[in-house]
Amino acid sequence: MSAAGTAGDRRDELALRLRAVEARVVAACAAAGRARDEVSLVAVTKTFPAADVVHLGTLGLRDVAENRADEAYAKQEACRIAGAVDLTWHFVGQLQTNKAGLVAQRMDVVHSVDREKLVGALERAAERAGRRLRCLVQVDLGLDDPGRGGAAPSEVPALAAALSAAGHLELAGVMAVAPLGSDPDEAFARLATVAAAVRRDHPGAGLVSAGMSADLEAAVAHGATHLRVGRALLGSRPPLG
Ligand SMILES: *Cc1c(COP(=O)(O)O)cnc(C)c1O
């Protein structure tokens, strides 16, 4: 009766999409000579309803990413009420210091630490919240145009050191988005170099968050441990989503 279909239809659609993405990840790992369990699939659920997060949880996905603190908070509340509580929440958006408190209280992994001021704000907020927050340094891989967030590769060692020294933050690794119009292979190869340098200074910081719907294969080939997949799993977002 309803043109929008039922919750069961949506769950079936998500199950099919998840199976297709999983097949891509399996093939990419095989091509790269990597074990499937070296790579985590993180569902980027921004703009999609909490019901989708709940469906993905029942389909076995445990990692969820959002890019806006307020939207993430509302979705977490809805998931909690729906009983979907054993999820790891990732924050992947540009983060203003005035949202650091909310993010430190509610998220588990912050992928987008790109300046020292943010390290200070997150550390104070995590201390207040009595939490320990895993953090990744977001690297700007744009060659000449300063992109949408991310620290220049030359700034990464100092940021990594600041995170590592913060008592309530844990330096977990690095994150990047392949610049628009770039060759993802070339971009993720550069990220791998930055990631290796961070690991030399901080052996525990092994996470490499890279790869989205369009370029996850290239990311796996260059050592990604966390793929952030939105549209391939959930369908197309409304414009400006
Ligand atoms: C939206 C988003 C993604 C997912 O992109 P898709 O193309 O939908 O897979 C990954 N990373 C970040 C930082 C995002 O904002």
Model confidence pLDDT, tens digit, residues 100-135: 999 999 999 999 999 999 999 999 999 999 999 999
pLDDT at 35: 98
- Looking at residues 162-171, what average pLDDT do you find? 98
* Ligand 1 pocket member 212 (CB < 6 A): yes
Percentage with pLDDT > 70 across the chain = 95
Model confidence pLDDT, tens digit, residues 29-77: 999 999 999 999 999 999 999 999 999 999 999 999 999 999 999 999 9
pLDDT at 104: 98
* Ligand 1 pocket member 177 (CB < 6 A): yes
- Looking at residues 206-222, what average pLDDT do you find? 98
Atom of ligand 1 nearest to the CA of 44: 4
Atom of ligand 1 nearest to the CA of 175: 13
What's the pTM?
Answer: 0.95
3-state secondary structure the chain: CCCCCCHHHHHHHHHHHHHHHHHHHHHHHHHHCCCHHHCEEEEECCCCCHHHHHHHHHCCCCEEEECCHHHHHHHHHHHHHCCCCCCEEEECCCCCHHHHHHHHHHCCEEEEECCHHHHHHHHHHHHHHCCCEEEEEEECCCCCCCCCCCECHHHHHHHHHHHHHCCCEEEEEEECCCCCCCCHHHHHHHHHHHHHHHHHHCCCCCEEECCCCCCHHHHHHCCCCEEEECHHHHCCCCCCC
Model confidence pLDDT, tens digit, residues 36-49: 999 999 999 999 99
Nearest residue (by CA) to ligand 1, atom 14, is 92
